[in-house]
Structure 1
């Protein structure tokens, strides 16, 4: 469970960062601990899946879907958050998007479990290293977003890295690409759905539940299921797949409402770093020179991307504060002179709304959508 008991910091604490207004320092510490816990647990997940390897990737995936839903239902009963479900059922368009999100995350989970249990931990980690680059590329292709020069450099460097790794592996890194594109597309769909992490997981696993349960019952009827045939320990581990799914997500949710977006953006790299280290040092997967070269290019691309994001966030925050100060100054002058300079104030206020507040509040909105 996440550290800390409160969901936000005191207003007016002055503890802001480049991603916009956030909680006070104590709450930020709690958020940072939860963020490290979330991304750290996701990074250490490769140690868990081999423990249930005898079940096979598809059976493990089905158990993950079933037990995740049961755990999430218990959590929703505790927090008493059900109003979203009725609203969702009355919106067929959002239901279609939730179904698409469930399909995408099913592919992502299944490929990842198979990759880890088939000795492809390093290649799986690459998928999450390049995910930010793929997300940007999808934004350009599907949403017609315009990139800053540094983002073009990062995406171009990432493309060169994939080409380099293609030569290193003797084929395109399909596992990495599948993980990155499925998760990138999942993120885009989730933005349209706009549910919190707990609610989103509940909706998606509800859709997954019946097919997953039917598959497990079919396996059991054929005598091929492992849940009841390999001892209590194995059954407990399969049930624990629900915890493996839900606990990091809860920690992430507790972090996202407390720390700046810029901090979360940097913390996310903890997951693939840990996976990469496990793949090389614990699972002893091969890393010939051309693979090192490809990974090095990916890391350069991510460094450029992170630098650009932090610089842009800092500029946007400074601009928002400057425009807000100018607007406050105009209000003061108007009160002193008794003259309502409506045209000038409206112009500055409009600039603040479009360029300043939107930049700062947009970061908070993205954090909310992410959880």
Structure 2
């Protein structure tokens, strides 16, 4: 086979992978704008509708893709369903903390959580999966811990929203790594498992007259749209993951918290003090070391295979 023609045929795939990655992480980065539109609506109602409408949207996709047989096989495995129930609970908690953070004017802190997340993943891999950490990865994790410690020491408060976002999403990712389920199918089952609880909550609010759904057509459309704006970035991410090497995809993940940080500081006027600068600087340095280490390891592995 001609090598140049092979490269040419692969180029559009890689290009589309980058487009999907930009769509996914770019969407996640500007999502605070959407959640801010809910105003004073309780976060628990926003999340309940987010789960329900995501369940509806993803179920429709599964039907269109004729994957009912796969779904039926999955739900016949109690162990898999139990693990997905746990991951679903973690994902729902992560969503709730995120919306609460955005709507209580702590967008900067939510961005901190997603900057920390890759380093928590590394730490979990070491503790739970017994993965070895390189010297640079150890230094990166140490710098991140130092950054959070600086935040607590200087401001006298623990950045709970950032830490809980990082931890819940890291544990969610760990469980999904251990469960052999396709991404779309797994997410559909997760939203289905949480959807029953969300529907009960929505029914209760409707019965007691405390439901925001239907009170205003704009708010109602926002509730319904929450399912689409939740699901589409995940589908774009899945498409990107199929087309790009994992190490390449990893570099795109910093786009989302960077956009969130810019929104928090420049659009919503949240404070960014010298303490924030030192904390973020330490974590950015940690991420640079982590990314460089991952890239060098990947290049080394490629040379060995070649």
TM-score, normalization by structure 2: 0.96
Deviation for aligned residue 1:14: 4.3
Residue 31 of structure 1 is aligned with which of 5, 14, 17?
Answer: 17
Q: Could you list the per-position Cα deviations for residues 319-362 of structure 1 after superposition, in whole angstroms to 9, with x for gaps in the alignment?
A: 011xxxxxxxxxxxxxxxxxxxxxxxxxxxxxxxxxxxxxxxxx
The partner residue of 1:239 within 224, 230, 248 is 224
- 1:63-102 equivalences in 2 (<5 Å): 63-102=49-88
- How far off its partner does 1:13 sit? 2.5
CA distance in 2, matches of 1:284, 1:307: 33
Hey, what does 1:47 align to over in structure 2? 33
Alignment partner of 1:13 is 2:6:
yes
* Greater RCO, 1 or 2 (C-alpha within 8 Å, sep 6+): 2
SS of residue in 1 equivalent to 2:271 = coil
Deviations 1:237-279 (A, max 9, x none): 1100001111111111111111221221000110000001101
Contact kept in structure 2, 1:55 and 1:225, CA below 8 Å: no
1:112 to 94, 98, 109: 98
Q: Provide the aligned C-alpha RMSD in A.
A: 1.4
Q: How does 1:1-371 map to 2 (within 5 A)?
A: 13-14=6-7, 24-229=10-215, 231-321=216-306
Aligned counterparts of 1:143 and 1:247: Cα–Cα separation in 2? 30
Which protein is bigger by CA-based radius of gyration? 1
Alignment check: 8 A CA contact 1:168 1:291 kept: no
Structure 2 CA distance for aligned equivalents of residues 111 and 83 of structure 1: 34
Give the conservation status (yes or no) of the 8 Å contact 1:168–1:288.
no
Q: 1:97-138 CA distances to partner (integer Å, 9 max, x unpaired)?
A: 000000100110000000000000000000000001111111
Unpaired runs of 5+ residues, structure 1, are: 1-11, 16-22, 322-371
SS at match of 2:100: helix
Structure 1 residue 82, shift from structure 2 partner: 2.2
Runs of 4+ with deviation above 4 angstroms? none
Give the CA deviation at 1:143. 2.0
Listed as ranges, the gaps of 5+ residues in structure 2 are none
Q: Which residue of the partner structure matches residue 326 of structure 1?
A: none
Deviations 1:293-335 (A, max 9, x none): 00000000000000000000000011011xxxxxxxxxxxxxx
Distance 1:168 1:81, change over 3 A: farther
Aligned partners of 1:169, 1:120: CA distance in 2, in Å? 15
Compare 272-281 and 23-32 and name the one that shifted more.
23-32
Distance 1:288 1:51 in 2: 27
Cα distance in structure 1, aligned partners of 2:155 and 2:202? 35
TM-score, normalised to structure 1's length?
0.79
Q: Give, in whole Å, the separation in 2 of the partners of 1:129 and 1:314.
A: 24
